[in-house]
Structure 1
Amino acid sequence: MPVVDLETRSLEGLSVLQSDGELIGAVLRGDRKAFAILVNRYELSVRAVATSVLRDRDLAQDAAQEAFVKAYQNLGTLRKAAAFGPWLLRIARRCALDLVQPYRRVPVPEPEVVEVHHSGLLDEEKERLLAAVLKLGDAERQAVMLRYFGGHSVKEVANITGRGEGTITKQLSRAHRRLRVLLKET
């Protein structure tokens, strides 16, 4: 087996070859590149959580950035490195909830559709799907965003949200039924 020089590997290569625990250890030793890899690895999931709470792309991006800052500042308090993902997503959810507080009395605008970087019919279908997802109730929307947009398993979604796996499964099932109806209407 050839020896691989860690200094010459790209961020993408490192993210695949190193576990969260190894990266967290490196961050705690002062390696900022290791944290960049963690940000790259979890960015979509963090934004999905924030978007599911805020329903606003710009506010969700703000919440995501704040979540990564807080995670970096508090990384030394994390007891188990294997729990980094769910821990980070709970931070993201709290950051998003903190941002939504000042806006509670403001009427909620129509949900924004996230930009899709593909072309043609596929764009329209994705826009319709995302618009339908954003019409779901809070719990169902969050479960769908984490499961399908964030790529998490049902068990991970349950851990992140603090709900039982059975509850998440039921919410996803209800969301599927509701999405079928919403998509037929449009």
Structure 2
Amino acid sequence: MILLTITDNPKDRTKFCILYEKYRYLLHKVAMDVLHDRYLAEDAVQSAFIKIADNIAKVGEIDSRQTKSYLIVIAKNAAIDISRKRKRQMKREINADEIGEEKLPAVCMESDLENGVLDILKNLPEKYRDVFLLKYSAEMENSEIAKVCGIKEATVRQRIARGKVLIENEIRNLEASRHETDRGD
């Protein structure tokens, strides 16, 4: 175990090993509750145990309620950090094929058009953009989006439909201006 090399003190190593064996499944469950992905939850648990190893002196009695709470907070924060990082990455990585190809006009996605589509997504009104990104980037269900945003599920469906219409119209405008440029008008 690589984490054992973080601490030099044999007592701290023993304490860390006991903590790891006793609490790893609990911390994994806490991370799963936040991330809903087994592999990401494993990453969060590893990150949490690195923080625990760095702060092993702050850990009191292994079986105490305070220790358990401290470890849970570290694991939950590690999972939240991973979730935030993923959301930021997804916002940057959204592509036109994640929008719902059946509703979009068929276009050749050249770099200037791709940039135009990304601009369209960035410039959507916030209430549509947020729901749209959660639906198609984070692949969340409408019920999950409703809980996260504090709105009704019907409102989520309505915003997705209206967002698609806005995107379709903007893509048509983008294509039209592109064709005018190509013709030299």
- Whose helix fraction is larger, Structure 1's or Structure 2's? 2
TM-score between the two structures when normalised by the length of structure 2? 0.41
TM-score between the two structures when normalised by the length of structure 1? 0.41
